[in-house]
Amino acid sequence: MYRSHNCGELRASHINNEVTLAGWVQKSRDKGFIVWVDLRDRYGITQLVFDEERTPKTMMEKAQKLGREFVIQVTGTVIERASKNPNIPTGDIEILVSKLTILNDALLPPFTIEDKTDGGEDIRMKYRYLDIRRNPVKNSLIFRHKVTQEVRNYLSKEGFIEVETPYLIKSTPEGARDFVVPSRMNEGEFYALPQSPQTFKQLLMVGGMDKYFQIVKCFRDEDLRADRQPEFTQIDCEMAFVEQEDILNAFEGLTRHLLKEINGVTIDKFPRMLYDDAMRLYGNDKPDIRFGMQFGELNEVAQHKDFGVFNNAELVVGIAVPGGNSYTRKEIDKLIDWVKRPQVGALGMVYCRCNDDGSYKSSVDKFYDQDDLAKWAETTGAKPGDLICVLSGDKNKVRAQLSALRMELAERLGLRKPGEFAPLWVIDFPLLEWDEETERYHAMHHPFTSPKPGQLELLETNPGDVKANAYDLVLNGNEIGGGSIRIHDKKTQSLMFDYLGFTPEEAKAQFGFLMDAFQYGAPPHGGLAFGLDRLVAILGGQETIRDFIAFPKNNSGRDVMIDAPAPIDEEQLTELNLKLNLKS
Q: Nearest-CA neighbor of 446 among 161, 201, 167, 168?
A: 201
* CA distances to 393, 456, 498, 509, 519 from 515, in Å: 44, 19, 14, 11, 7
Q: Nearest-CA neighbor of 24 among 64, 71, 58?
A: 71
**Angle CA 103–11–27, to nearest 5:** 40
Burial label for 480, CB within 10 Å (0-12, 13-18, 19+), is buried
Whole-angstrom Cα distance, residue 36 to residue 39?
A: 10
Pairing relation of β-strands 44-51 and 93-104? parallel
Whole-angstrom Cα distance, residue 165 to residue 350?
A: 53
**Angle CA 268–473–170, to nearest 5:** 145
Written as one string, the DSSP assignment of 239-252 is EES--HHHHHHHHH
Q: Give every residue of the chain whose pLDDT is below 50, as ranges.
A: none
Which residue numbers belong to the known binding site?
Answer: 174, 220-222, 229, 445, 479, 486, 531-534
Task: Look at residue 440 in the predicted model and tell me its pLDDT.
Answer: 77
Which residue numbers belong to the known binding site for ATP?
Answer: 220-222, 229, 479, 531-534
Please tell me the number of Cα atoms within 13 Å of 490 on its side-chain side. Answer: 14
Which residue numbers belong to the known binding site for L-aspartate?
Answer: 174, 220, 445, 486
Q: Nearest-CA neighbor of 336 among 415, 409, 279?
A: 409
Task: Look at residue 455 in the predicted model and tell me its pLDDT.
Answer: 86
Task: Look at residue 555 in the predicted model and tell me its pLDDT.
Answer: 87
